Amino acid sequence: MIASLRTLDRRRVASYSLIALAALLVGFGSAAQLRSQLVTPYNRVERNRALVRSVQDLERTNGVERGRIAALRREIAGLEGDAARRSDQTAELAREIANLRAHAGITPLKGPGVTVEIGNGRPSPDGQIGYLATYQDVQDVVNLLFTGGAEGIAVNGRRITPLSAYRGRAGTVEIDDGPPLMAPFRIAAVGNQGQMEQLLSDVGNLGDLHHRQREFGVQLSFGRSPELRLPAYDGSLQAANAQPL
Amino acid sequence: MPGLFKQRRAEPARQAPRGVTLIIVGTLSAAVAFLGVVQIRSQAEVVRSLEGQDNTSLAFLIDDLHRANDALGDQAGELTARRDQLRLSGTAGADPVLQDEGQRLRVLEGLVPVHGPGLVMTIDAPLTRLDLEDAVNNLRASGAEQMAINDHRVITGTVFRQDGSAVAIDGDAARGPWTIVVIGNQDRLAIGADLMVQSLRSDRRVRQAAYRMEPDLVIRATVSERPFVYGSP
């Protein structure tokens, strides 16, 4: 009896194993099929990874070049300072140049001011963000601050110059030669605090941003600081085609 | 205990029919294999989402970064040459270097009249303050080095205010038709200007929008220097 039961069990186990094996083969067959269908996405992933690596390499180069430019500007200022100490005429010229550089944003600037923060929209319950802040949001705030008498502005530590331009895609902002900046964006402006705050408080200004604030929970806030320190611009500032008359 | 064992071994005979069991085992095995595939796929998705934006956006970003790094390289080269000149010339030779630098900065800050190759864009439309700010930024991002709108010199920081149907540019009222004179690299400017004109022509407010290239344009308007009141270098 036990022997016949054992034979029956062995048969059953063997048949289960066969079925399981067949089913696994079917499953893996589906897997292989699905994998072959996934060839394009995987290629895309690889391409994406390669592109991400390129971006990272270029950002590293960008940082190195900006560091080199900042160091060269400091070195030149030092050499000019040495020359200015030896001649009154050179000293006068050097003062003039220092003033021009300060207005161009090539040297650091400190003083009282306001700081504006712009963040992406709040995520919905399903985790989706309804609105990613764009370069135009940053541009609108910077322009409003200039209207309020800002004497110098920096966005996430990138100084705005007389030739500054903004571009980018949703969620990122590229300013001049710098790497892409990600939200939240912190816009620091040195200047007349009262005037800038008044414009920022006026709901008639920044209409698009206020609308997105209501619709998508975009974060917009501002506050004053007794002393802000704006860094020097560390990018390229050249006009190869425009020549003085 | 052996009895119990025997009883347990005999138990399947009273369970579900064999065919059903086989189907269950088969289904479970197939599900295991299928889940393996799903796992592979979801890992790929995670990698994709972690590694950021779509390839087109990344390609644009790479293009921007290449151009930025080229510009930074040029600037570093120019600064290296200026530093070497200062080192070699000593005190006596510093003045010409400083004078050149002063003139270059005055051009950048819009403080002196300038000339150079570029384009003239004409727009017949009731443009607003925001339209003009966007136009300035688009042209700047397309390589504009210097520009003037209706004979008003414009830099980043120029204040545009809506004043009824007019737009005050640094306090001076201006209204359409608009003439934007831009000096800069013509190849780059043309790309930006094409897109702008295309976009403007699809705007119902715009009666006419066009641009032309000029080999040597003159911008005589200048920006007034603003002394620092609150900030100190």
Provide the mean pLDDT of chain B: 85
Q: What is the pLDDT of residue B36?
A: 63
Q: How many CB atoms lie within 10 A of CB B126?
A: 15
pLDDT of amino acid A26: 78
Q: Are residues A131 and A57 in the same domain?
A: no
Are both A127 and A77 inside the same structural domain? Answer: no
Helix, strand, coil share of chain A (percent; to 5): 55, 20, 25
A100 lies in some domain: no
Same-domain pairing of A125 and A11? no
Give residue B47's pLDDT.
40
**CB within 8 Å: A235 and B72:** yes
How close A217 comes to chain B (CA, Å)? 23
Q: Both A182 and A123 in a single domain? A: yes
List of chain B residues whose C-beta atoms are within 8 Å of the C-beta of residue A47:
55
Contact A42/B44, CB-based, under 8 Å? yes
Q: Is A131 in the same domain as A223?
A: yes
**Alpha carbon distance B188, B171 (integer Å):** 31
ipTM of the complex in this document: 0.78
pLDDT at residue B1 is higher than 50? no
Q: Are residues A19 and A135 in the same domain?
A: no
At residue B39, the pLDDT reads 52
Query: Cβ–Cβ of A79/B83 closer than 8 Å?
Result: yes
Percent of the residues in chain B that have a pLDDT greater than 90, as a whole number: 66
Q: How many domains does chain A have?
A: 2
Mean pLDDT throughout A68-96? 92
Asked if residue B10 has pLDDT above 50, the reply is no
Q: Give yes or no: residues A109 and A63 share one domain.
A: no
Q: What helix, strand, coil percent values describe chain B, rounded to 5?
A: 55, 20, 25
Q: Say yes or no for a CB contact (<8 Å) between B145 and A41.
A: no
Within B138-232, strands assigned E span 144-149, 152-154, 160-163, 166-169, 172-174, 178-184, 208-219
Angle, vertex CA B82, rays to CA B81 and CA B87, nearest 5: 95
In-domain check, residue A215: yes
Q: What is the pLDDT of residue B202?
A: 95
The CA angle A96-A102-A107, to the nearest 5 degrees, is 120
Q: A24 and B30: CB-CB below 8 Å? A: yes
On whether both A115 and A221 belong to a single domain, the answer is yes
Question: Would you say residue B211 has pLDDT above 50?
Answer: yes
Tell me, yes or no, if B18 comes closer than 8 A to chain A by beta carbon: yes
- Ranges A124-128, A201-205, B10-14: which has the least confidence: B10-14
What tens digit of pLDDT does each residue of A29-70 get?
776 666 555 555 566 677 788 888 888 999 999 999 999 999
Percent of residues, chain A, with pLDDT higher than 70: 91
- Strand partners of residue B214: B118
Burial readout A81-114 (b: 16 or more C-beta within 10 A, e: otherwise): eebbeeeeebeebbebbbbbbbbbbbbbbebbbb
Provide the edge-to-edge strand list for the sheet that holds A158-159: A158-159, A150-155, A185-191, A109-119, A219-230
Question: Which of B156, B189, B225 is best to mutate for the A interface (most A CBs within 10 A)?
Answer: B156
Same domain, yes or no: A121 and A220:
yes
Q: Could you tell me if B191 lies within 8 Å of chain A, comparing CB atoms?
A: no
Over residues A189-230, the pLDDT tens digits come to 999 999 999 999 999 999 999 999 999 999 999 999 999 999
User: Where in the sequence is the domain holding A144, given as residue range(s)?
Assistant: 105-230
Out of B31, B110, B230, whose CB is closest to A192? B230
Residues A134 and A60 in one domain: no
* Inter-chain CB proximity B118 and A241 less than 8 Å: yes
> Which of A18, A49, A84 is the C-terminal boundary of a domain?
A84
Of the candidates A129, A143, A112, A142, the one whose C-alpha atom is nearest the C-alpha of residue A212 is A129
Of all residues in chain A, the one with the smallest CA distance to B185 is A241
Query: Is residue A130 domain-shared with residue A208, that is, in the same domain?
Result: yes
Length of chain B (residues): 233
- In this predicted structure, what is the pLDDT of residue B19? 75
What's the gap in Å between the CA of B164 and the closest CA on chain A? 14
Give residues 98 to 157 of B whose Cβ lies within 8 Å of A: 98-99, 101-110, 112-118, 130, 133-134, 137, 140-141, 145-146, 155-157
